[in-house]
């Protein structure tokens, strides 16, 4: 029985590892410093996609940061409502809604963003539209993590603090935040990784092929690493484009891994506190 | 329960029980869903003395304490502290709770130093003042000073459970409460910690009213003062320690004292 389970588990470990090795192998010809900081003048394929990835990386990080900035206060509000004011029924309902929202395919959010933000509100293909859609996508994950972070604080401590006459704000700042910050930060980093890996919703709400290095305003389009890979992959016959796509994938994976591994590292503090 | 043993322990009610009323609870009821947790509870607490609240599990003792310091607000009836209705307390529930100290059954220390735990309830401006005298006084009142005076900067969670409970008592006392409510403060503590806390309570009861929930009938006798016997959300009998343990008037009280069960449906 034990060996059978191990045999079944091996592919689960080997397949992602094999994928990772294959991605790096394919990316090797294009992986150098110029890939990130090089001249953008080099044109690859019919779509004139620039080779240097700096603007795509900064565009992705900018959109991710804005999405997190938008989602954070909303997630904190949901978690505080859940902790302080929600009845038992409301808590169950809220948890169910967050679970359902997490299950909605991101492309559906993208479609809503296209209809409402891009066309109805006339924001156009823009950084703002992409950030709002991404913030809605990561909100359930961030809110759930914040709720769990607060739930881990012993109820006795909250009640003791209230019994000492501390206001709800003081309980949040003096009891909850010092203990919940590692969990909250872990959730935030995982949400950042999620925002960074989403492609479909920003494909038709925020990003363009090329010609943008840095958006002029929040209502200007951006370029992003995710969509850049998508455009490069369409250049099927162009070997250089394909190698650059793989290299871009390695850069994206590295960014996502940085956030995920930092989140994993912070879990230590959760256990300690 | 050995009556002779009880006689030796119960004392004549102190004259302080005749003092003016500090807390007046009248017709207090609490319902959660379909369940009646408290039903028309009425009693007074004198200005200085210990009142022990006894009764079986689920009688509503802890809920009563939570209502009295507004941790639970869904009750009906009247609770007055110093002749002021607590629902209309000047400054609201947060200020009220500084006047009504509540110590829970399970000690909850904050992840800061021993000294910071004692001063946790003080405002920032109060904490900036010279607090060493207050710190020492509160820790002495809770019989913890001698054990921690050399390690006040150490984390509070390094203390034993019994010490943590006394730290919680010191933390509540730092706010100079008008009333002290204790919810089984010595449950699961070692005999020495139990004895130290009881000694502290006797000292404190000379100045402030203390309402102490306890399952331990021996402890209720050691604490002396008045006894409130609660069952199924109702006050069944109120008497001084001597009378209640030696001459219980109600059948339910006699049953509870003899078998620790109560059937008052």
What digits encode the pLDDT tens for the residues B102-157?
999 889 999 999 999 999 999 888 888 888 999 999 999 888 999 999 999 999 99
Distance CA B78, CA B85 (A): 7
Residue B17 located in a structural domain: yes
Q: Which residues 122-181 of B are in CB contact (within 8 Å) with A?
A: 168, 171-172, 175
> Which of the residue ranges A42-51, B41-50, B253-262 has the most confident prediction, judged by mean pLDDT?
B41-50
pLDDT in tens, A6-31: 888 888 889 999 999 999 998 888 88
Distance CA B23, CA B82 (A): 6
Per-residue DSSP letter, A60: H
Residues of chain A with C-beta less than 8 angstroms from the C-beta of B108: 154, 156-157, 159-160
Residue B19 located in a structural domain: yes
Helix, strand, coil fractions of chain B, as percent rounded to 5:
40, 25, 35
Residue B167 located in a structural domain: no
Task: Return the higher-pLDDT residue of B132 and A42.
Answer: B132
Residues of chain A with C-beta less than 8 angstroms from the C-beta of B71: 159, 162-163
Q: How far apart, in Å, do the first and last CA atoms of chain A sit?
A: 38
Confidence label for B174 from pLDDT (cuts 50, 70 and 90): very high
Residue A268's pLDDT is what? Answer: 75
Q: Determine whether the interchain pair A163/B69 forms a contact, defined as Cβ–Cβ distance below 8 Å.
A: yes
Residue B173 located in a structural domain: no
- Mean pLDDT (chain B, rounded): 87
Instruction: Answer whether B120 touches A (CB < 8 Å).
Output: yes
Does residue B37 surpass a pLDDT of 70? yes
Q: Does domain A52-272 have CATH number 1.10.3720.10?
A: yes
**Closest-CA distance of chain A to residue B98, Å:** 5
Average pLDDT over residues A55-63: 91
Does residue A32 surpass a pLDDT of 90? no
Residues pairing with B210 in the sheet: B50, B180
Helix ranges (DSSP H) in chain A:
2-27, 33-37, 54-80, 88-103, 106-113, 127-151, 155-163, 168-170, 177-197, 200-203, 225-233, 239-272
> Residues of chain B with pLDDT > 70: what percent?
92
Q: What is the dihedral of CA A179, A184, A190, A192, to 10 degrees?
A: -140
Pick from A56-60, A168-172, A239-243: least confident: A239-243
Does residue B226 surpass a pLDDT of 70? yes
Distance CA A82, CA B214 (A): 33
| Token pair 């409130």 in the structure block, residue | B228
Confidence label for B10 from pLDDT (cuts 50, 70 and 90): very low
Residues of chain A with C-beta less than 8 angstroms from the C-beta of B103: 163
Distance CA A57, CA A149 (A): 30
Residue B153's pLDDT is what? Answer: 94
Distance CA A134, CA A156 (A): 37
Contacts of A45 (CB under 8 A, 6+ apart): A232, A234, A235, A238, A241
Q: Whole-model pTM above 0.90?
A: no
A67 touches A131 (CB < 8 A): yes
Residue A238's pLDDT is what? Answer: 79
Burial class (CB in 10 A: 0-12, 13-18, 19+), A107: middle
Confidence label for B75 from pLDDT (cuts 50, 70 and 90): very high
Residue A92's pLDDT is what? Answer: 95
Distance CA B94, CA A68 (A): 34
Instruction: Answer whether A164 touches B (CB < 8 Å).
Output: yes
Q: What are the two backbone dihedrals, phi and then psi, of residue B211, each rounded to the nearest 5 degrees?
A: -115, 115
Which of B102, B103, B107 shows the shortest CA–CA distance to B157?
Answer: B107
Q: What are the two backbone dihedrals, phi and then psi, of residue B121, each rounded to the nearest 5 degrees?
A: -80, -10
Q: Mutation test of the interface with chain A: which of B89, B106, B110, choosing the one with the most A Cβ atoms within 10 A?
A: B110
Nearest residue of A to residue B69, measured between CA atoms: A163
Pick from A191-195, A208-212, B35-39: least confident: A208-212
Instruction: Answer whether B97 touches A (CB < 8 Å).
Output: yes
Average pLDDT over residues A222-227: 88
Does residue A51 surpass a pLDDT of 60? no
User: Domain count of chain B?
Assistant: 1
Does residue B30 surpass a pLDDT of 90? yes
Residue A50's pLDDT is what? Answer: 52
Distance CA A211, CA B97 (A): 63
Q: Where is B50: in which H helix or E strand? A: strand B49-54
Which member of B69, B108, B111 has the closest CB to residue A156? B108
CATH of the domain at B89: 3.40.50.300
Residue B122 located in a structural domain: no
Which of B16, B78, B68, B26 shows the shortest CA–CA distance to B47?
Answer: B16
Nearest residue of B to residue A155, measured between CA atoms: B108
> Which of the residue ranges A26-35, A40-49, A184-193 has the most confident prediction, judged by mean pLDDT?
A184-193
Residue A12's pLDDT is what? Answer: 85
Does residue A121 surpass a pLDDT of 50? yes
Contacts of A24 (CB under 8 A, 6+ apart): A250
Residue A44's pLDDT is what? Answer: 53
Confidence label for B186 from pLDDT (cuts 50, 70 and 90): confident
Residue A271's pLDDT is what? Answer: 53
Which member of B106, B107, B121 has the closest CB to residue A164? B121
Residue A29's pLDDT is what? Answer: 84
Residue B4's pLDDT is what? Answer: 39
Q: How far apart, in Å, do the first and last CA atoms of chain B sit?
A: 24
Residue B136 located in a structural domain: no
A242 touches A28 (CB < 8 A): no
Residue B130's pLDDT is what? Answer: 84
Contacts of A260 (CB under 8 A, 6+ apart): A189, A190, A193
Residue A172 backbone class (left: φ over 0; alpha: ψ -120 to 50; beta: rest): alpha
pLDDT in tens, A160-180: 999 999 999 999 999 999 988
Instruction: Answer whether A68 touches B (CB < 8 Å).
Output: no
Q: Determine whether the interchain pair A160/B168 forms a contact, defined as Cβ–Cβ distance below 8 Å.
A: yes
Cβ atoms < 10 Å from Cβ of B165: 30
Residue B129's pLDDT is what? Answer: 85
Does residue A125 surpass a pLDDT of 60? yes
Does residue A41 surpass a pLDDT of 60? no
Residue B114 located in a structural domain: no
Residue B27's pLDDT is what? Answer: 94
Task: Return the higher-pLDDT residue of A2 and A62.
Answer: A62
Does residue A110 surpass a pLDDT of 90? yes
Cβ atoms < 10 Å from Cβ of A102: 15
SS3 B80: strand
| Token pair 């100290």 in the structure block, residue | B101
Residue B143 located in a structural domain: no
Q: What are the two backbone dihedrals, phi and then psi, of residue A270, each rounded to the nearest 5 degrees?
A: -60, -45
Residue A270's pLDDT is what? Answer: 65
SS3 B102: strand
């Amino acid at each position: 029985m034990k060996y059978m389970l191990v045999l079944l588990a091996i592919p689960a470990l080997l397949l992602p590892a094999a994928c990772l090795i294959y991605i790096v192998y394919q990316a090797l010809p294009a992986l150098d410093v110029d890939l990130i900081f090089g001249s953008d003048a080099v044109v690859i394929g019919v779509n004139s996609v620039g080779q240097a990835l700096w603007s795509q990386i900064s565009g992705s990080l900018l959109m991710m940061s804005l999405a997190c900035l938008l989602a954070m206060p909303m997630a904190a509000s949901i978690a505080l409502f859940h902790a302080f004011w929600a009845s038992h029924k409301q808590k169950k309902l809220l948890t169910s809604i967050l679970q359902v929202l997490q299950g909605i395919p991101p492309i559906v959010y993208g479609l809503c963003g296209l209809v409402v933000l891009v066309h109805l509100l006339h924001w156009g293909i823009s950084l703002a539209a992409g950030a709002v859609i991404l913030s809605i996508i990561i909100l359930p994950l961030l809110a759930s993590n914040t709720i769990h972070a607060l739930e881990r604080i012993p109820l006795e401590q909250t009640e003791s603090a209230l019994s000492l006459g501390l206001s709800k704000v003081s309980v949040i700042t003096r009891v909850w935040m010092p203990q919940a910050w590692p969990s909250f930060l872990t959730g935030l980093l995982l949400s950042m990784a999620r925002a960074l890996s989403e492609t479909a919703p920003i494909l038709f709400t925020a990003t363009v092929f090329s010609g943008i290095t840095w958006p002029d305003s929040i209502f200007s389009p951006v370029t992003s690493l995710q969509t850049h890979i998508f455009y490069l992959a369409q250049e099927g016959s162009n070997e250089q484009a394909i190698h650059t796509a793989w290299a871009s994938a390695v850069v994206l994976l590295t960014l996502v891994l940085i956030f995920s591994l930092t989140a994993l590292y912070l879990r230590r503090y959760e256990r300690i506190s | 329960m050995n009556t002779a043993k009880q006689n030796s322990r119960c004392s004549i009610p102190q004259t302080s029980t005749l003092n003016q009323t500090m807390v007046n609870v009248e017709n207090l009821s609490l319902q959660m869903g379909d369940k009646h947790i408290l039903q028309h509870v009425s009693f007074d607490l004198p200005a200085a003395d210990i009142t022990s609240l006894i009764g079986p599990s689920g009688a509503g003792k802890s809920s009563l304490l939570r209502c009295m310091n507004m941790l639970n607000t869904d009750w009906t009836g009247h609770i007055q502290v110093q002749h002021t209705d607590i629902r209309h307390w000047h400054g609201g529930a947060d200020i009220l709770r500084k006047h009504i100290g509540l110590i829970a059954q399970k000690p909850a220390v904050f992840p800061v130093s021993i000294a910071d735990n004692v001063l946790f309830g003080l405002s920032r401006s109060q904490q900036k003042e010279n607090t060493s005298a207050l710190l020492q006084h509160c820790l002495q009142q809770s019989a913890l000073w001698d054990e921690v005076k050399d390690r006040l900067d150490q984390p509070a969670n390094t203390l034993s459970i019994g010490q943590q409970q006394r730290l919680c008592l010191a933390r509540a006392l730092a706010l100079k409460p008008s009333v002290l409510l204790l919810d089984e403060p010595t449950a699961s503590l070692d005999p020495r910690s139990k004895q130290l806390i009881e000694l502290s309570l006797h000292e404190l009861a000379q100045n402030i009213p203390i309402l102490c929930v306890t399952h331990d009938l021996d402890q209720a006798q050691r604490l002396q003062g008045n006894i409130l016997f609660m069952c199924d959300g109702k006050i069944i009998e109120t008497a001084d320690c001597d009378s209640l343990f030696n001459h219980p008037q109600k059948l339910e009280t006699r049953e509870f004292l003899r078998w620790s069960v109560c059937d008052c449906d």
